[in-house]
Chain A
Amino acid sequence: MKELRLMKGNEALAEAAIRAGVDAFYGYPITPQSEIMEYLMAQKTQERTGMVTLQAESEVSSINMVYGAAGTGKKVMTSSSSPGISLMQEGISYIAGAELPCLIVDVVRGGPGLGTIQPSQADYFQATKGGGHGDYHLIVLAPSSVQEMYDFVKLSFDLAFKYRNPAMILSDGLIGQVMEKVEISEQIPRTTSFDPSWTITGKTPDRERNIITSLELDSAVMEKRNEKLQAKYQKMQETEVRYEEVQCEDADYIFVAYGSSARICLKAVQIARQKGIKVGLLRPITLFPFPTKPIAELSKRVKGFLAVELSAGQMIEDVKLAVNGRTKAEHFGRMGGVVHTPGEVLEALEQKIIGGK
């Protein structure tokens, strides 16, 4: 029998971390994700599995603790929310540059600045377009249910280690706080063997010393490093795109939405169908790599796309690039922690796409 529990998104993610055999969590409190560390502390992770849970003095510190431990091959993670993720960007750039696997969770709240503690999707750019300095990408997964908050922890680590690249779970205050039924998986033991080809676990006589660094003063060599990174991102684009299609087969119009926006669009699809409007939903699960190809395919036959986001319009840029002018592509969003209703979403579709020029 599968184990079922009623949990908050944040708690489910924390339990998933323990069960995925994570070695360390380094974090700093910020609403709306503080339950993650609170849950881990309450679970006495050190006793349960040997997992380290440590509250750092800042997000700057926690991401650098992640960087240190990730270089040793351990499974490490942190979580934060928007202003904290901004502080982590320095470290994230170093981790991407040094090609280290790890998991960063962003339970997004409304900004800019101190903003609000209510849900938002306005961190899309900083999650998918680099965020810190230099040319790099994270693998970005967007859960839209508590179950996915749970499932994406293991998936993130699998992908992060496969590509030696930091992964991010881009959630928001709604998915983090909502309570839903979750199917809990078996405990995976923590790993005890580490890839000797790159991890810093102490230089043994049988191998050269290993060095974790993103520094290279020779520009020609640095360019090669960048090219290698870009080839890696290209490979992700070819093989790791994940998305869900709902009633897209016969659709005239398509909502593109992820996370909590996708949940709201699902309801809007139902209402629209009752009214006889053929609408479907394309839900990106990976935001990087983005489902460019499936959107491009659909754009050859549908009459328009509406990107629905809790932002002023960020993902819409990727949708437009995929559509490439073949059909209409518009944006509808609310900002600053306000969550749209299904009715509003449908109204926007009717005005901007169906009735729009």
Chain B
Amino acid sequence: MDVQDIIKEENLVYTKTKLMTDNVLSYCPGCGHGTANRLVMEVVDEMGIQADTIGVSPVGCAVFAYDFMNIDMTEAAHGRAPAVATGIKRVWPDKYVFTYQGDGDLAAIGTAETMHACNRGENITIIFINNGIYGMTGGQMAPTTLEGAKTTTCPYGRDVKTMGYPIKITELISQLPGTYFVTRQAVDTPANVRRAKKAIRMAFENQKLDKGLSFIEIVSSCNSGWKLSPVKANQWMAENTFKYYPLGDIKVNGELVSK
């Protein structure tokens, strides 16, 4: 049976998101980036705001998001997306502006830009894909890499004594009064995908209401970087990553969610 036989009307449970272009995704099969890209475009489509949305794509695996998202976009230097988005939003306050960044981008080289955009309460949406590794450059250690996890630059496992602790950037920025909605989601199961989409929708709605900064972490797998099959990677993530990076809302309507 070839692909064309499978893609039949009666077999389809899902159709291609309208605002995704026809370009073939450059993400590895099984990677969370593809799903996350799609969710953002679904929200933009459902809200009917394509003509008012400007995206900022980062350095990292998602740099080519502009090839897949059918909206106006600008590419940003490594880590600088929150500053680029600030520059845009301040001169176009009525547009929806979002960044889409990886953990190396947002929590390492771009820590200052992230902190300060959050602290100023820029009325933008930050979508943060945390896969605990540098995917694009071949699987080096990220600031979010779990203790003991092996990467190409910590081949014997991350030793926190010499390499520091995995950083919970989302919890950190939730402490800043400038952030309005801070949440951690995942896209590994259909239920989690639905929750993640709801959070993205909420973030864009907040922007419409001029509420300030919404920050959505999406815990994701990098099956290539982790050297696991897509299924195994998702299992490993559910068993290990979610323990250190628990899913759920951290701040809603400007108030920390008490746990």
Residues on A facing B (Cβ under 8 Å): 23-24, 26, 52, 54, 56-58, 60-62, 64-72, 74, 76, 90-91, 94, 98, 200-205, 209-215
Contact = CB atoms under 8 A, between A and B. Distances in A.
Nearest to B74: A212
A60 B112 contact: yes
A68 B75 contact: no
Given A26-B87, A52-B90, A61 B77 contact: no
A61 B115 CA distance: 12
B88 interface: yes
B91 A69 contact: yes
Contacts of B72: 200-203, 209-211
Contacts, number: 124
B51 interface: yes
Given A203-B51, A209-B70, A211-B75, A72 B83 contact: no
A79 B184 CA distance: 38
B74 A200 contact: yes
- Most chain A beta carbons < 10 A, residue from B51, B53, B91: B91
B116 interface: yes
Contacts of A200: 54, 72-74, 88
Nearest to A214: B75
A209 B55 CA distance: 11
Given A60-B80, A61-B80, A94-B76, 11 more contacts: A52-B90, A58-B112, A65-B90, A68-B86, A69-B87, A98-B75, A200-B74, A209-B66, A209-B73, A211-B73, A213-B74
Contacts of A90: 77
B95 interface: yes
B62 to A, nearest CB: 12
Contact of A67 (B53, B76, B115): B76
A326 to B, nearest CB: 44
B75 A74 contact: no
A24 B87 contact: yes
Contacts of B83: 56, 60-62, 64-65, 68
A91 B80 contact: yes
Contact of B75 (A26, A57, A72, A213): A213
Contacts of A76: 87, 91
A80 B208 CA distance: 34
A62 to B, nearest CB: 8
A64 B90 CA distance: 13
20 contacts: A24-B87, A54-B86, A57-B116, A58-B112, A61-B80, A61-B86, A64-B76, A64-B87, A65-B87, A68-B56, A68-B86, A69-B88, A76-B87, A91-B77, A91-B80, A94-B76, A203-B71, A209-B66, A209-B69, A209-B72
B54 to A, nearest CB: 5
Interface in B57-110: 63, 66, 69-77, 80, 83-88, 90-92, 95
Contact of B91 (A52, A98, A205): A52
Contacts of A26: 87
Given A65-B87, A91-B80, A204 B51 contact: yes
Contacts of B52: 202
A193 B50 CA distance: 19
Contacts of B92: 72, 74, 201
B95 A202 contact: yes
A60 to B, nearest CB: 7
A209 B90 CA distance: 21
A64 B112 CA distance: 13
Contacts of A64: 76-77, 80, 83-84, 87, 113
A56 B52 CA distance: 25
Contact of A54 (B63, B77, B90): B90
A15 B45 CA distance: 43
A164 to B, nearest CB: 14
Given A202-B50, A202-B54, A209-B72, A68 B112 contact: no
Contact of B53 (A70, A94, A202): A202
B66 A94 contact: no
Sorted from nearest, which 5 A-B pairs have the closest CB atoms? A68-B87, A65-B87, A68-B84, A64-B83, A200-B72
A71 B88 contact: yes
B73 A212 contact: yes
- Most chain A beta carbons < 10 A, residue from B66, B74, B75: B74
Nearest to A57: B116
Contacts of B74: 67-68, 71, 98, 200, 211-213
Contact of B66 (A23, A74, A205, A213): A213
A215 B115 CA distance: 26
